[in-house]
Structure 1
Amino acid sequence: MNKNRGSQFRKWVLHLHSLYSHSQLSNQYNINENNHEERFDEFLKKLNENDIKAIGLTNYFNFSEQDYCLKRKLEEKGIVVFLNLELRLENGNVKDETCDIHIIFDNLLDEKEVKCFLASMTAKVVNKRLDSISSKDDYKKAVVNFDDLVKCLNDKSLNLKNRYMIGILSRGKGSSRLSSVFEDIAERCDFFIHSSDKQKNIEEDKEYLNSHGKPLLQSSDAHSFEKIGGKFSWIKADLNFEGLRQIMFEPSERISLGKDNPDTKLDYQVIDSIELSDARIIYLNSSLNTVIGGRSTGKSTLTNAIAKALGNEHFVPINEKTEKGMHVFDKDIIIHWRDGQEHQDLEFLPQDYMIKIAENDILRNNLVRSTVKSDEGNYRKIEKYEEDTRKNQNEIDNSIQEWSNLKDKLATLIKPEGDKKGIEVQLQKLKEQISEQEKKSDFSERKSEEYRKSETELNYYLNHQRLSEINIRNLNDMGSIEISLSTPIPSSDDTKFRESLEEYIEVLKTEVNEKWQQKIKELTDEQNEIFSENKLKVNEIWNSEIFKQGQTNISNNETLRKLIEIQKQEQLKLDTFIKYENNKEKIETQINEIQTKILRSYAKFGTLREKLQNEFEVKATPVEIKINFQPIKFEEKIKYLNGRNTTNNNFIEEFDKDSFRKIDNIFDALNLSYNQGKSQNDLIKDVLSQHWYTINYNLQYDGDNFEQMSQGKKAFVVLTLILEFSKDKKPVIIDQPEDSLDNRAIYNDLTNYLKEKKKERQIILVTHNPNIVVGADAENVIVANQHSEDSPNTHGIQFDYTNGSLENTYTKSMKYTLEKQGIREHVVEILEGGKEAFEKREKKYK
């Protein structure tokens, strides 16, 4: 069964000498009249063993009947055979040496037409027609003039126009051995042929010649079985002369001179074929498949059906109510992958998808972010930035909570009643009165002083005894608490690795809790000892002689007792005032410190943004991704200031201009009015709970900023972004990417881009633009047709398809539309400007 996939890379050897190459000139096949079949079998075996699909069967100056017979026999065995006539030019090089030239004839050219040419062309020196050259002496002396040769080939009576190609032997960059006359001949040839053993020479020649629009072929020049298959060219083309001619239009893309097949895509990343209803199968190429057709002929229907069959997230089924969605066939299709397995991997970019992404900042930033993931180094910078901002925000949130608690604590402080100054004056007066009373009693002034000292000490030890009791109770409560380690363990498929981390954390937890209990015991013992020491001191003072005498003196003097009692009450009032002021000052100091800490932490956001902006840069020529930060509008997050007054409006306007400056003064008295029962404290919390900037990805293409591009150019850049940075090589479907691009942009940007990306991944592309199909040298063109009276399909099938290469060309008198002509003719007929696109392609190196 012919699985037509369009142009494919196959091995071609276009300079391979015939078994019957004239024995006078190095024929080493050792063929004689008794071993023809044996030598043919060996010749065929060598071709098949080396998977050679097409050859240039070469002989000097003319072909024998045996050559024609050999061609027919090889073709019967599936080998495509072109006759290659090797001639010697009289025109010399810089060393005055003659040079070989090759004429490759259309493989479908009738033998009679080749013979007519041989009978019409005369060799110089021997002065004989080519078909008359036979002696060893003739072969050694015969030469042809290049101009005479071209004139003969172009003789209309010979009917050879576009049915031959002229090649010349390459010896290094096309110039090292050429005279000026010879350079002119080389320029007029269609291709160069190489048989060097040095890879460096081949690569240099190919680069040089391709840059001048000339294809270079590697071939064996084999005269023996041993050399067959050692040197060859990978040519991407149909196995016919029209396919071979394509190397003149795409010299670098259609030829590969490496040892391995250039198609290196993995089998699971290539869709092999699409099976439609009625067992119809469309075979796909691993490179660029373009789907063309008139309006409503089933182009997008086909790609939509592929997306549906593979469960792609961008496929949207028809909504019965709105009738919006993506049309598919009545019956589901079957997708066959090249590895024979089932896969779901597919990139599907439906019609207008790129434009929607281009016009929506959120969607575009999400796409860019997912794209940047392919650049692990730069994506790690973003992750580090987000990690650092989260950590910084958590620190700020904790500080804000601490600040809020302090504000609440300050608000709950109750100022004592009375007048502190008056209390202080009263205490001084009481002190003087107590002193006078003590003088009147038999309790000496010295004893009074000693008593007051012991009383002060007693209060000190009683207070510390109280504190020890509180500490011991708290330690008892804490002793029942188990410390847990809430360290997050990163997810990993390595179960053993994860379990080892979990086990170690458990070990640490046990060790920590053991040390914790040990510390609780140490502190409890310490506090018990302090309590005992203070209790001992209290008992000593209570039992001291001076304290007992003082207590008795107070009891015996009613006036003194009352004064001391009043003194104690006033001192308590003063202590309450002092405690209040100390607490208030302490809390206010803490609030100021935490506010400074918060603003200092908040300033880190600016440093982190600047660091990321300076360090982040992703390039994949010609696309470049940079980062800037988009400020968030105040009223997008906070609604309770709007519409109040001019002061509020000015605050909002200034915040949107420079949020950093306004935040730096957020703790000052702002004199704002608030809705929804809010206050400045709420504003402070809400403002500081976020950093008021979002990451914005700035795209550039060849130095042009994305925002300044036209809609269509933006869409193309989005497509480039999707394909350029993805390391995933799964197939991609693109529906009409050329929308909104002018023809020049399509030809210069999109076609060149597709030519590069199709080497990396399989592309299925719906288009109505011939510059994409022809300019991007689509390997496989799928032509869609909807059945109608004027354009019928086989069996009246609603949507039918045919496919093939750009070099597939013919016209036939057939009933059904898709069978009437070749792919080239369909392209010209369906796509406006198709003919011009082919002409442009074929003239670009002329």
Structure 2
Amino acid sequence: MNKIYSDWFKVDLHIHSDFSNKTKTKDYDGSFNIDILKEKLIENQVKLFSLTDHNIINAEAYKNYYDNFTNGDPVLLVGCEFDIKVKQDDDSFLTYHTLLIFDETTTEKANEIASIIENHLTETNIKERSVSEDEIFELFQPYHFFYIPHAGGHKNIIDAYKDADIRKAQEMVLLMECAHEKVKEKHRLRHQQEFDKLKDPDFRNKKDEAFINFSDNHNCDIYPNPKNGATHEFYCLKGEPTFETLRFAFIDPQSRIRKQQEVDLLKNVKKHISTIEIKGIKDVDDCNIEFSPNLNVIIGGASSGKSLLFNLIGKKIGNNKHDFQKYNCNDSEVLIKASNSQTPQLTLPFNDDEVIYINQGDIVKYFETGDLKELVIDSGRENQLSEAKEKLQSTKNNLLSEFETFKNRFDRFNSSYRKDFIIHEGDFESMTNDKFHFVEFTPSVELIDLTEKERLLENISNNISSLKNDEIFEFNNSENTVVESFENLIKTKKELILQKKLTNESISHFIEGVKTVLDEKNNNLESASRAKKEALSRKQSLLTTCKTLFKQALEFDESCMILEQLKCDNKEEIKVTESVKLILEIENNDQLRQGITNCINGGEIEKSIYENYLVLVRDNNNLKDYKEYTEDRLIQKLKKETKLILNNYDAPRTYLDYGGNGNSKNKSPGFNAEMYLKTILHYEKCKVVMIDQPEDNLGNTFKNEDLINLLRDFKFLKQIILVTHNPSIVVYGDAESIILAENTSGQISYSQLFLENKDFQKLIIDNLDGGKSIFDMRSRKYNIKKLLNS
């Protein structure tokens, strides 16, 4: 199937025939045969070429080719290689070579131009033919042609002018739509800089000097190699094989001229959408749309079906952000095909991280709502987002854990405060009498609970048994010996634990026996001894109760201090690109301390948390909103009064940190939208970018400059599909595929256009606001008026 978008093809506009021998001695090697050349061109997939002999046109070869031309053959443009003479300061002349490629493809025009050359040079020695620039313009003024001078190697324009007036050469080249031929890589930058000096400032440094190399073949039998026998590296143009494609290429070489090696890399693009076959959709004409792997734009008037197609594609690739259902259309017969697939299918699933899908208005909405989750997903950082949110949740859980500790310590403090702190009348007299009693027995032995140790050894035993019987481990004899040795060790430790348990039981029985004996003896003493024992016991109880109260007061105060010092200013950073970070932030404020204080009736923020809660200890009715205090109600109240903070951990404030350019919190929606696009386009895993009218959220400067540069940079790395009404995106972005949506009396149709086709250009202009001026600006690369007046 012929491509219906701008695709790459090989071009060779510098091929000689044996007619060059007429003007240059022994210039052509061997015999020339146009049919053999044609075979070689087809074999090498060259789509556009020219026969450019020295100062002469082989009209017979042109006639032969045109007479036998069939559709699909390489297109032949009339051309010639001229010796251009340049007068030096000493009145001598130096010549350089330039190709003239004409917008002519007929025998009649080849003969006509050949006659002009012969008539003008009839009195000149055929071996010494040359013309001046002025003569070129006078002779061929009625024709459209390209001027392609050698800018490197033998007979180049720089050498011819460097001792004359190099500025004249620069002006002459800039005045025309032309390219430089035969320029080595290391010389290109110098040429670019020199020519930039003469350009209008608006057009400087745009990398738009066209450099292109052709074969300069002098023997069709060895085509495509040049006369010196070196291997030729083809150059490719983007578009269809026409003169208009040349014009577009020389106007926009960065997007439209590539070496074959570079094109091979571009064509080795990642998985992308190849075609969509629309069929059976009500009020939409059946059609087949073929997508470029690069920049595709959907244009058309209001209600023409642009967004319908956009959302249809979204549904067919399984993106959950599509909005196709709103059209109430049945798409069961619509088929879609991937570049790496042989047949169309009902759906073409992509992984979530392979597609960026942005609906109209989405970008600004992200920043308005403060939720940049979609940006993170689109930029391929979803895992990092999950990790960041988990950290914030962990911090929230720690806060809740501190609340629980605070509440538990308060309850213990509160419980101790409410105990009886008493000693009976006469207890001091009883404690000081001279009677004796048997004191309580306090053993120094600390018994250890061995239940967990037994369970641990039992689990190990069971696991060893499973390990030995599992064939997957393939234990050999020596390994089995190690396992058995370990199993015996566990058995030994089981016996040790059993022995320790028996010892513990004996000690425990002994201690209980001693206590029983002491109690019996004390009970048999006289009343004064028993009173002394009871008084001393109550004293010890009072001391223990007081000690416990102060200890629990200190523990509660410790929890109060922790909450006093706790700052809810957590921040997690996700590196999105080298210069952009996504920030998840819990803002620092006094809401935590305020919330804890608010739990108390009459709570005072200037007092410490501990001081405020002493009020609740003295009177449990001071818990706000509750007439009666319970343990559960305190934790409920704490969570309620700090709900805003706790919710922030679940939905933290998100914003973009642009490094030296500030952050999205203090930038306009337009600026943020621009940074968003820059960010997501850098995501390497993404294969397809779909945006419905990106210009709606962007400033004019960004649309016409930065966005265009972004699209041009990334369209050769991933497939881009845009709905747009902005002519700059289409024309300056150099869209490879333009899909025109039209609505005629409610019936929607889609057709495909490409920029370099003259017939299509009017349709494109008619469907884009300001389209004509954009086309004009694209053609006006330089300030020609300034050059003419210089």
Task: Indicate if the aligned counterparts of 1:194 and 1:202 stay in contact, CA closer than 8 A.
Answer: no
Q: Secondary structure at the match of 1:253?
A: helix
Closer, same or farther in 2 for the Cα pair 1:519/1:328, shift >3 Å? farther
1:814 maps to what in 2?
A: none
Q: How many residues were matched structurally?
A: 714
1:829 maps to what in 2?
A: 766
2: CA distance, partners of 1:776 / 1:237: 14
Is 1:404 the counterpart of 2:399? The answer is no
1:335 maps to what in 2?
A: 336
Shift of 1:240: 0.2
Closer, same or farther in 2 for the Cα pair 1:402/1:736, shift >3 Å? closer
Q: Secondary structure at the match of 2:165?
A: helix
1:322 maps to what in 2?
A: none
Shift of 1:516: 8.3
2: CA distance, partners of 1:13 / 1:664: 88
1:574 maps to what in 2?
A: 539
Aligned ranges for residues 45-64 of structure 1 at < 5 Å? 45-64=39-58
Is 1:801 the counterpart of 2:750? The answer is yes
Task: Indicate if the aligned counterparts of 2:301 and 2:767 stay in contact, CA closer than 8 A.
Answer: yes
Gaps of 5+ in 2: 196-204, 226-231, 280-284, 461-470, 476-482, 784-790
2: CA distance, partners of 1:783 / 1:55: 31
1:527 maps to what in 2?
A: 504
Task: Indicate if the aligned counterparts of 2:17 and 2:58 stay in contact, CA closer than 8 A.
Answer: no
Q: Secondary structure at the match of 1:97?
A: strand
TM-score (norm 2): 0.76
Closer, same or farther in 2 for the Cα pair 1:370/1:423, shift >3 Å? farther
Q: Cα deviation per residue 1:731-773 (whole Å; 9 max; x = unaligned)?
A: 2332222225454442123222222221221122222222221
Task: Indicate if the aligned counterparts of 1:16 and 1:220 stay in contact, CA closer than 8 A.
Answer: yes
Is 1:838 the counterpart of 2:775? The answer is yes
1:300 maps to what in 2?
A: 307
1:817 maps to what in 2?
A: none
Shift of 1:250: 0.8
Q: Secondary structure at the match of 1:420?
A: coil
2:479 maps to what in 1?
A: none
Is 1:129 the counterpart of 2:120? The answer is yes
1:102 maps to what in 2?
A: 99
RMSD: 4.8
Closer, same or farther in 2 for the Cα pair 1:388/1:288, shift >3 Å? closer
Q: Secondary structure at the match of 1:573?
A: helix
Bigger drift between 675-684 and 45-54 goes to: 675-684
Match 1:464 to one of 420, 433, 443: 443
2: CA distance, partners of 1:279 / 1:415: 86
1:627 maps to what in 2?
A: 583
2: CA distance, partners of 1:511 / 1:409: 48
Gaps of 5+ in 1: 123-127, 319-324, 435-447, 486-495, 501-505, 655-660, 789-796, 810-821
1:249 maps to what in 2?
A: 251
Closer, same or farther in 2 for the Cα pair 1:424/1:395, shift >3 Å? farther
Q: Cα deviation per residue 1:225-281 (whole Å; 9 max; x = unaligned)?
A: 435161321211221001110023212221113524166255662222221237632
Task: Indicate if the aligned counterparts of 2:4 and 2:290 stay in contact, CA closer than 8 A.
Answer: yes
Closer, same or farther in 2 for the Cα pair 1:71/1:703, shift >3 Å? farther
Task: Indicate if the aligned counterparts of 1:699 and 1:705 stay in contact, CA closer than 8 A.
Answer: yes
Is 1:354 the counterpart of 2:363? The answer is yes
Q: Secondary structure at the match of 2:716?
A: coil
Task: Indicate if the aligned counterparts of 2:55 and 2:117 stay in contact, CA closer than 8 A.
Answer: no
Closer, same or farther in 2 for the Cα pair 1:388/1:86, shift >3 Å? same
1:214 maps to what in 2?
A: 209
2: CA distance, partners of 1:11 / 1:682: 76
Is 1:79 the counterpart of 2:74? The answer is yes
Closer, same or farther in 2 for the Cα pair 1:193/1:19, shift >3 Å? farther
Closer, same or farther in 2 for the Cα pair 1:598/1:536, shift >3 Å? same
1:168 maps to what in 2?
A: 149
Task: Indicate if the aligned counterparts of 1:599 and 1:664 stay in contact, CA closer than 8 A.
Answer: no
Task: Indicate if the aligned counterparts of 2:431 and 2:536 stay in contact, CA closer than 8 A.
Answer: no
1:770 maps to what in 2?
A: 727
Is 1:112 the counterpart of 2:108? The answer is yes
2: CA distance, partners of 1:666 / 1:769: 64
1: CA distance, partners of 2:117 / 2:168: 21
Closer, same or farther in 2 for the Cα pair 1:516/1:762, shift >3 Å? farther
Q: Secondary structure at the match of 1:408?
A: helix
Task: Indicate if the aligned counterparts of 1:206 and 1:215 stay in contact, CA closer than 8 A.
Answer: no
Q: Cα deviation per residue 1:581-622 (whole Å; 9 max; x = unaligned)?
A: 23323333433445556667x45x65x63xx56xx655457x
Q: Which AA in structure 2 matches 1:275?
A: E
Q: Which AA in structure 2 matches 1:756?
A: D
Closer, same or farther in 2 for the Cα pair 1:567/1:706, shift >3 Å? closer
Closer, same or farther in 2 for the Cα pair 1:45/1:143, shift >3 Å? same
1: CA distance, partners of 2:456 / 2:308: 67
Q: Cα deviation per residue 1:368-399 (whole Å; 9 max; x = unaligned)?
A: 333554499xx4xx777655555555555445
1:493 maps to what in 2?
A: none
Task: Indicate if the aligned counterparts of 2:104 and 2:110 stay in contact, CA closer than 8 A.
Answer: no
Closer, same or farther in 2 for the Cα pair 1:666/1:704, shift >3 Å? same
Q: Secondary structure at the match of 1:85?
A: strand
Match 1:149 to one of 109, 131, 136: 136
Task: Indicate if the aligned counterparts of 1:90 and 1:98 stay in contact, CA closer than 8 A.
Answer: yes
Q: Secondary structure at the match of 1:576?
A: helix
Task: Indicate if the aligned counterparts of 1:287 and 1:779 stay in contact, CA closer than 8 A.
Answer: yes
Is 1:746 the counterpart of 2:703? The answer is yes
Aligned ranges for residues 580-619 of structure 1 at < 5 Å? 580-596=545-561, 602=566, 606=569, 609=571, 618-619=576-577
Q: Which AA in structure 2 matches 1:769?
A: N
2: CA distance, partners of 1:497 / 1:749: 60
Task: Indicate if the aligned counterparts of 1:423 and 1:574 stay in contact, CA closer than 8 A.
Answer: no
2:222 maps to what in 1?
A: 226
1: CA distance, partners of 2:563 / 2:474: 39
Task: Indicate if the aligned counterparts of 2:149 and 2:180 stay in contact, CA closer than 8 A.
Answer: yes
Shift of 1:301: 2.0
Shift of 1:335: 1.3
Closer, same or farther in 2 for the Cα pair 1:116/1:776, shift >3 Å? same
Bigger drift between 90-99 and 752-761 goes to: 90-99
Shift of 1:674: 2.0
2: CA distance, partners of 1:375 / 1:207: 44
2: CA distance, partners of 1:282 / 1:571: 100
1: CA distance, partners of 2:134 / 2:614: 95
Match 2:171 to one of 182, 187, 190: 187
1:818 maps to what in 2?
A: none
2: CA distance, partners of 1:571 / 1:314: 79
Is 1:65 the counterpart of 2:59? The answer is yes
1:815 maps to what in 2?
A: none
Q: Percent identity?
A: 21
Shift of 1:574: 1.9
Q: Cα deviation per residue 1:599-657 (whole Å; 9 max; x = unaligned)?
A: 67x45x65x63xx56xx655457xx3353625399999999998999x67x85xx9xxx
Q: Cα deviation per residue 1:437-480 (whole Å; 9 max; x = unaligned)?
A: xxxxxxxxxxx8xxx6xx44xx32xx439x87xx47x5458745
Task: Indicate if the aligned counterparts of 1:626 and 1:697 stay in contact, CA closer than 8 A.
Answer: yes
Task: Indicate if the aligned counterparts of 2:276 and 2:290 stay in contact, CA closer than 8 A.
Answer: yes
Shift of 1:68: 1.1
